Amino acid sequence: MQISNDIDAMRLALRWAEKAMFITSPNPRVGCVLVKDGRVIGEGHTQPPGSAHAEIRALRDAAARGHDVRGATAYVTLEPCSHYGRTPPCADALIRAGLARVVAAVMDPNPLVAGQGLEKLRVAGIQTEAGLLADDATELNVGFMKRMRTGLPWVRMKAAASLDGKTALHNGRSQWITSQAARDDGHWWRARACAILTGIGTVKEDDPQLNVRAVDTPRQPRRIVIDSRLEIDPDARVLVGGGTWIFAAQADADKRSRLEATGAEIIVLPNARGKVDLPEVMAELGRRHINEVHVEAGVKLNGSLIREHCVDELLLYQAPMLLGDAQGLFDLAALESLDNARRLVFHDVRRVGPDLRILARFD
């Protein structure tokens, strides 16, 4: 493949990074393309944790094709790592390979890297640049970027509603407000997340599996339930297969024992009101290396998460219908002034089948 400029090369690297969407957590999704004399000679993306990073895959690809990488340019969607983790530093591999130039889309906010990767390359005599298509590269790893900078995961709240903002009829029925296309699209967002979070109310009402079914993925996100009093039934489908994390405000010994027998882990984090401390939940998820949290909950937990400033963006699917007097999206207090309204910015708006998908981020 011929490449005529840096932007086209980085766009190709970003496409390779997208191929790693569902497999790299908690590591970032990274793509790398090697170009020499205007020709692509190696390509690759990050593999699952403990396996090769994008740069190594691209170098191996070039070798398998019989190409000499000396003097080539590497286009990488994230600054090459400079430290020993589960794998050796990618910066060292690029130096040994004899590359002439490395272009990174965005700097790595990981304190173990944070500019040291590019600095190591510069000291070795390799020309380095950063910032090309940085916004696109950041979007691919918005959760990793936030966790590295703040210790907290990126929290995305998904909901499906009618045009008048209703999520279910007055009797609770909600299947299905949106189309199959919208529901399948929602599973893509589930698949890219590290964890899917819901509340005990949703578990009681819907008995959800809380997994990815409409998208082919080699990895299922962690399932999380907010359940202050450990009211969840040990036979609930969200517990099947084990590994579910249940955040509670109190832990009755008998209930805890029965739930732990299913393979669930109970984490007790009460606040002063006897409820689960939601900001502390997010801090704990960050400590557990969760990059992106996908919330699919009911009106009460949705409202609580927003009030506690735990949500970064809303993923809202709106169907072209009106439901009238029915259940809303969020349980939020009445406002006396528009000055007190929580403001959001439309990040992406598009059609999905007959429905509208809105991605809106809090200011």
Residue 199's beta-bridge partner residues?
226
Euclidean distance between CA atoms 277 and 123, whole angstroms: 47
Token pair of 329 as six digits:
């999206």
What Å distances lie between residue 115 and 55, 107, 151, CA to CA?
A: 17, 6, 19
What Å distances lie between residue 122 and 92, 117, 128, 134, CA to CA?
A: 12, 9, 6, 20
**Cβ neighbourhood burial of 320 (10 Å; 0-12, 13-18, 19+):** exposed
Its sign, for the CA torsion 304, 306, 307, 310, is positive
361 within 8 A of 350, measured Cβ to Cβ: no
User: Which residue type, as a one-letter code, is found at position 189?
Assistant: W
CA 124 from centroid of its chain's CA atoms: 35
Catalytic residues: 55
User: What SS3 class is residue 278?
Assistant: helix
Rounded to 5 degrees, φ, ψ at 332 are -125, 150
Euclidean distance between CA atoms 77 and 45, whole angstroms: 10
User: What SS3 class is residue 247?
Assistant: strand
CB atoms within 10 A of CB 342: 13
162 within 8 A of 306, measured Cβ to Cβ: no
Pairing of strands 313-319, 154-162: parallel
